[in-house]
Amino acid sequence: MEYQGEHLLIGQLGHFAAVLSFVASIIATFAYFKATQKAAIAEEHIAWKKLARTAFIIETIAVVSILVTLYIIIYNHYFEYKYAYQHSKRSLPVKYLISCFWEGQEGSFMLWNFWHCIMGLVVIRTAKTWEAPVMTVLSLAQVFMSTFLLGIYFFNVKVGSTPFMLMRNEHAEWPIFSNPNYLQTRAFADGNGLNILLQNYWMVLHPPIVFIGFASSTLPLAFAIAGLWTKRYQEWIKPALPWALFNAAFLGIGIMMGAAWAYESLTFGGYWAWDPVENASLVPWLIIVAAVHIMLLNKSTGHSSKSVYWFIFLSFLSLIYSTFLTRTGVLGDTSVHSFTGEGNSLFWHFIVLMSVFSLLFFVLYFKNSKHIPVLKKEEEISSREFWMFVGALVFVISSVYITFYTSLPLINKIFGTQKAIGEDPEYVYNRVMILIAVVLGLLTAVIQFLRYKNTPRSFWVKKIITPTIIALIISLLISIFGGINYKNYGLGYLGAIHLAIFASVYTIVANTAYIWIGLKGKFRSAGGSIAHVGFGLVLLGILISSSKREVISINRTGIVIPGLTDPKGRADSGLENITLIQGVPTPMGKYLVTYQADSTHPEDEKLYFRVNYLHKDSATGKVLEEFNLYPDAFLVKGEGGRTQLSANPDSRHYWHKDIFTFVTSMPDPESSKDTARFKNKPVSAGDTIFYSSGYIVVDQIIEANKNTNKDLPLVDSAWLADVTIYANDGMSYKAQPALFAKDNMGIPKRDTIIAESIVLQVDKTEKGVELGVKESKGVMKYITLKAFQFPFINILWIGVLVTTFGFLLSMWHRFTKN
């Protein structure tokens, strides 16, 4: 059959590029392998290296071609391709077309692929004698990465999945594909669109950055393997160090961009929730940071010459393992935003990837381990290297703890158990991490003042005493006047928070001081200290913003729900959502909050709610502060035509706090279109009127006019009804609708029973008084919202920037020194 209107060439080009990148990576691996083996024979070495470089450059071109062709497909809305059909739609703004790339699995692997190639080119330019062995490992990794995009069957096993799949091949059994003009049908007029959560500017930035971090974790391992392979057991550390620092910097900032995205567009009320996806990216960062420190101490002292290999290997392995956990769907129900699996093929793909690299490392390591030079002399307790090792170990232990709990679903699968983290998952992590923060904070503060090899006590005490006193004063001030009084988990935990605050302030002060005392203000070599200051700021920001986080949308209706308790077993009202009826000011914390209006934007599917915050002085009534927040919500037509709500928060940023507001519920606008009419019936006292879910008894009808009643000065006459509504669920309500007349104009005063969605009115005709009932779902507009206050969250974001800057400065310093 000839299908009409398809654009097949572009997809074929893309698929060809994917296959080409696979073949080229195999050639590059082999040629670099030969080049390394023949390093002694200059002529052969050069010939192999030339071939390898050509192959690698061809591979890079192929990978770029994949990206470009896929972008063309998405940009031009070629919906015959599954990728465009599943992940984009015509109304999507161009800036989010890029985000379509990483909604699917293939796009993320493509990014990884791409950054590997770019980094490979940098290695080729800079690594000199290290090029051949390092690039062998990198190209081998590329063989695996490019197979993720193949989607080709080898002996009945599907390997990878191609992003250039056509809808009619993916779903060949669908009847529509017997129509050669299927592209003209309504179903193919538009794509399914991008997950609304990804339609956020952080999601344009976060994935590429995080994948720089992912891709760069291959390089330290590549150098370590190259060192073992070419028997340069210590020399590899120097050229590997800038890469490790680069890895730590980008993984770190990438993770925190994800946190910023979570903060701004997820409604779990914070930037971190110990979700498996978050944990999975944190663990490799913890280990690479540990590895950086071991590399540094080894370079300066020669100690830990063997363990440095293991730290590097672990950082790479943990990264692949994390990706395995989040990408293959093994986490299943435990993660809010885990990806779904490509099924078995992806699962085994990762298992093979991990096994091959582990095997490669083990074989080379154990073959060479007796040749790795080890210092006989023991580390002094007063030496810097001793405590750096301890610190690195604490990093790794914390990551083992996180990994264990994150891997529970996998452990369940392997051992057939049914275990899950209990009532309070965040506390399971926080409880341990706060102690780790104390230990790491203290170590980070004091270690720089220690010298390598050993430190004379008087020297150390003299230098550290001033920063210690300053830090003690500052942290005491914060503890005493900061109002940090987080007692949800008892006094022990509160104590730990205050200790951790001291430790983080100590880190900040001591490392700032070290830039002058220890480094004499030499900015170029201050990268480490700056990163430490940033780390201290991050800790401090986390501690203050989390322990002082406050729900301000407490519903003060006074209803305490029986049986509901907080994690420590105390009674908890749990009423953290407040309902705002349009136009009705509702007190919330110190604010008077009003849902004023909602609006849509023609090019945007979002519905924006204008929520007005007003802070008045309670004594004078003077307006102290007024601002509007615009939390928005997406209304998505889902299955069965039902609309679903997906909300994005809005925050009011102050220098010292954020007020964070998001919509948790709203009425379905479809059902709130008010098409219902009043049904009027003549009534007198004692009458009964039925409505769909109950009946109304008229208790009395009062008629009054100016002549008979002197209390009616404002209107000419009035008709009032006193009624009782008996609902089918056993509830009863009182209502008093009325009609007033002035100058022959009727002024109805309607009464609304919200719970029953009915509106009552009184009417007067020649026949007498009538009672009108309107049953309507759209009785009123309301939103339910939740609001938090995050104090000093900016310390966290500033800390992240400072840490990243420190890493990069240090990287640049090491790189130029090489």
Partner 1 sequence: MKKIHIVTLVLIAAAIAYMLVTMSKDLTTYDTIASAKQKQGKFIHLIAKLDRSKNVEYDPVTDPNFLAFYAVDSLGGQTKVIYHSTKPPELEMSERIVLKGKMNGDVFECKEILLKCPSKYKDDPEHQKRDFENKMQN
Rule CB under 8 A: which of 660-719 touch partner 1? 664-665
Least separation, in Å, of the C-beta of 262 and partner 1?
16
Nearer to partner 1, 27 or 297 (CB): 297
Least separation, in Å, of the C-beta of 518 and partner 1?
24
CB burial string 465-486: b at 16+ within 10 A, e below = eebbebbeebbeebbeebebee
Nearer to partner 1, 27 or 150 (CB): 150
Environment class of 229 (CB within 10 Å of its CB; exposed 0-12, middle 13-18, buried 19+): buried
| Cα–Cα distance measured from residue 776 to residue 769, given in angstroms and rounded to the nearest whole number | 23
Structure tokens at 693: 């879910």
Q: At what angle do helices 8-37 and 42-75 cross, to 10 degrees?
A: 160
Environment class of 448 (CB within 10 Å of its CB; exposed 0-12, middle 13-18, buried 19+): buried
Q: Which of 19, 72, 592, 645 binds partner 1 (CB under 8 A)?
A: 645
Assess 646 for contact with partner 1 (CB under 8 A): yes
Q: Which of 256, 353, 361, 263 is nearest to 306 (CA)?
A: 361
> What residues numbered 316-345 form the site for partner 1, per CB under 8 A?
333-334, 336-337, 340, 342
Least separation, in Å, of the C-beta of 555 and partner 1?
6
Nearer to partner 1, 198 or 251 (CB): 198
Nearer to partner 1, 483 or 669 (CB): 669
Least separation, in Å, of the C-beta of 379 and partner 1?
5
Least separation, in Å, of the C-beta of 564 and partner 1?
6
> Is the separation of the CB atoms in 296 and 452 below 8 Å?
no
C-beta neighbour count of 12 within 10 angstroms: 12
Nearer to partner 1, 23 or 302 (CB): 302
Nearer to partner 1, 230 or 582 (CB): 582
Least separation, in Å, of the C-beta of 472 and partner 1?
27
Nearer to partner 1, 108 or 218 (CB): 108
> What residues numbered 96-155 form the site for partner 1, per CB under 8 A?
103-105
C-beta neighbour count of 266 within 10 angstroms: 21
Nearer to partner 1, 75 or 782 (CB): 782
Residue 696: left if φ>0, alpha if ψ -120 to 50, beta else—which one?
Answer: beta
Nearer to partner 1, 149 or 531 (CB): 149
| 21 Cβ contact partners less than 8 Å away, ≥ 6 residues apart | 59, 62, 63, 66, 113, 142, 146, 149
Q: Which of 239, 384, 232, 374 is nearest to 303 (CA)?
A: 374
- Which part of the chain contacts partner 1 (CB under 8 A), choosing from 552-560, 687-695, 718-726, 788-796? 552-560
> What residues numbered 420-439 form the site for partner 1, per CB under 8 A?
420-423, 428, 432
| Cα–Cα distance measured from residue 316 to residue 661, given in angstroms and rounded to the nearest whole number | 39
Nearer to partner 1, 522 or 642 (CB): 642
CB burial string 530-565: b at 16+ within 10 A, e below = bbbbbbbbbbbbbbbbbbbbebbbbbeeeeeeeeee
Q: Which amino acid is at 310?
A: W
Q: Which of 590, 642, 656, 679 binds partner 1 (CB under 8 A)?
A: 642
> What residues numbered 353-382 form the site for partner 1, per CB under 8 A?
378-379, 381
Nearer to partner 1, 368 or 646 (CB): 646
Nearer to partner 1, 275 or 650 (CB): 275
The span from the first CA to the last CA of the chain, in angstroms, equals 63
- Which part of the chain contacts partner 1 (CB under 8 A), choosing from 63-71, 201-209, 534-542, 781-789? 781-789
- Which part of the chain contacts partner 1 (CB under 8 A), choosing from 22-30, 139-147, 413-421, 511-519? 413-421
Least separation, in Å, of the C-beta of 575 and partner 1?
5
Count of chain residues binding partner 1 (CB under 8 A): 74
- The contact pattern for partner 1, residues 795-814, with x = CB under 8 A and - = no contact, is --------------------
- Strand ranges (DSSP E) for 114-228? 152-154, 157-159
Q: Which of 13, 23, 354, 390 binds partner 1 (CB under 8 A)?
A: 390
| Cα–Cα distance measured from residue 512 to residue 503, given in angstroms and rounded to the nearest whole number | 14
> What residues numbered 1-60 form the site for partner 1, per CB under 8 A?
none
Nearer to partner 1, 450 or 478 (CB): 450
Distance of CA 155 to the CA centre of its chain: 39
Nearer to partner 1, 72 or 394 (CB): 394
Nearer to partner 1, 432 or 720 (CB): 432
Structure tokens at 664: 């948790």
Token look-up 């010939």 returns 47
Environment class of 589 (CB within 10 Å of its CB; exposed 0-12, middle 13-18, buried 19+): middle
Nearer to partner 1, 576 or 775 (CB): 576
- Which part of the chain contacts partner 1 (CB under 8 A), choosing from 6-14, 446-454, 506-514, 642-650? 642-650
Least separation, in Å, of the C-beta of 589 and partner 1?
16
Q: What angle do CA 342, 348, 354 make, to 5 degrees?
A: 120
Least separation, in Å, of the C-beta of 593 and partner 1?
14
Least separation, in Å, of the C-beta of 32 and partner 1?
35
Least separation, in Å, of the C-beta of 342 and partner 1?
7
Q: Which of 152, 354, 474, 636 binds partner 1 (CB under 8 A)?
A: 636
Least separation, in Å, of the C-beta of 815 and partner 1?
30
- The contact pattern for partner 1, residues 152-181, with x = CB under 8 A and - = no contact, is ------------------xx--x-x-----
Least separation, in Å, of the C-beta of 666 and partner 1?
8
| Cα–Cα distance measured from residue 466 to residue 532, given in angstroms and rounded to the nearest whole number | 18
> Is the separation of the CB atoms in 712 and 706 below 8 Å?
yes
Q: Which of 47, 51, 354, 394 binds partner 1 (CB under 8 A)?
A: 394
Least separation, in Å, of the C-beta of 384 and partner 1?
13
- Strand ranges (DSSP E) for 468-590? 550-551, 578-581, 586-588
- The contact pattern for partner 1, residues 501-540, with x = CB under 8 A and - = no contact, is ----------------------------------------
Nearer to partner 1, 59 or 385 (CB): 385
Nearer to partner 1, 359 or 561 (CB): 561
User: In terms of residues, how long is the chain?
Assistant: 818
Least separation, in Å, of the C-beta of 695 and partner 1?
20
> What residues numbered 599-618 form the site for partner 1, per CB under 8 A?
none
> What residues numbered 558-587 form the site for partner 1, per CB under 8 A?
559, 561, 563-564, 574-579, 581
Q: At what angle do helices 237-265 and 276-301 cross, to 10 degrees?
A: 150
What are the two backbone dihedrals, phi and then psi, of residue 238, each rounded to the nearest 5 degrees?
Answer: -60, -55
Q: Which of 179, 160, 10 is nearest to 81 (CA)?
A: 10
Q: Which of 15, 49, 87, 548 binds partner 1 (CB under 8 A)?
A: 87
Q: Which of 551, 224, 500, 207 is nearest to 365 (CA)?
A: 224
> What residues numbered 452-481 form the site for partner 1, per CB under 8 A?
none
Q: What angle do CA 749, 751, 757 make, to 5 degrees?
A: 145
Q: At what angle do helices 237-265 and 307-327 cross, to 10 degrees?
A: 30
For residue 592, the cross-strand partners are 587, 614
